[in-house]
Amino acid sequence: MSALPPVEQRIVVKLAPADAFDLFTRGLARWWPFKGHSCSEEAQDVLFEGRVGGAVTEVGRDGSRHTWGTLTAWDPPAAFAMTWHPGQGAERATQLAIHFTAVAGGCEVHLLHGGWDVLGSDADAMRGNYDQGWGWVLEHFMARVTQEAAR
């Protein structure tokens, strides 16, 4: 069975790359659809520790903290990349990369979310790439279904 292609999306917004980058990261709470896409009961903010190796952490209104992933690239205003495992152990991380490129009238935001079939460093537990892809995706969606049911 073949690996799944990454999710890829592009949009153009009327902001300079620096502002677009800032809104995407520091201003994430202004637009992120927390309803159905958060770890805590009620999310308040998502903090980017702006450096390679820095954490991306959701902070709930109750003060709880939940790791979304770890930054693997931090290159404002051009790009950032991170492991992505909200509500999951890091061993189930997929890979997210966002690029911000100046275009006429604003900035193109290019999103790539892939690595569905990679388990990361926990190679011993790997039965096969494909299986791990399934595991991650299923657990991700289980978490989502649970959240949506709890609404």
CA 32 to each of CA 23, 28, 46, 142: distance values in angstroms, whole numbers, following the listed order: 10, 6, 9, 20
Question: Closer CB to another protein, residue 7 or residue 90?
Answer: 7
Q: Which is nearer to another protein, 25 or 70 (CB)?
A: 25
Strand, helix or coil at 144? helix
Give me the least distance between CB of 13 and another protein, in Å please.
4
- Nearer CB in complex with another protein: 91/131: 131
Any idea which residue has 């308040």 for tokens? 44
Least separation in angstroms between residue 70's CB and another protein is: 19
Rama region for 87: left / alpha / beta (φ>0; ψ in -120 to 50; rest): left
- The DSSP code for 6 is P
Task: Tell me how far apart the alpha carbons of residues 140 and 7 are, in angstroms, rounded to a whole number.
Answer: 15
* Nearer of residues 71 and 107 to another protein, judged by Cβ: 107
> Shortest gap between Cβ of 140 and another protein (angstroms)?
7
Closest CB to another protein among 54 and 135? 135
Cβ 74 to another protein shortest distance, Å: 19
Q: How far is the CB of 83 from another protein (least distance, A)?
A: 15
Residue 112's nearest CA partner among 79, 69, 76 is: 79
In whole angstroms, what is the distance from residue 54 CA to residue 74 CA? 9
Site of interaction with another protein (CB under 8 A): 1, 4, 7, 9, 11, 13-16, 18-20, 23-24, 27, 30-33, 37, 109, 111, 113, 116, 127, 131, 133-135, 137-138, 140-142, 144-146, 149
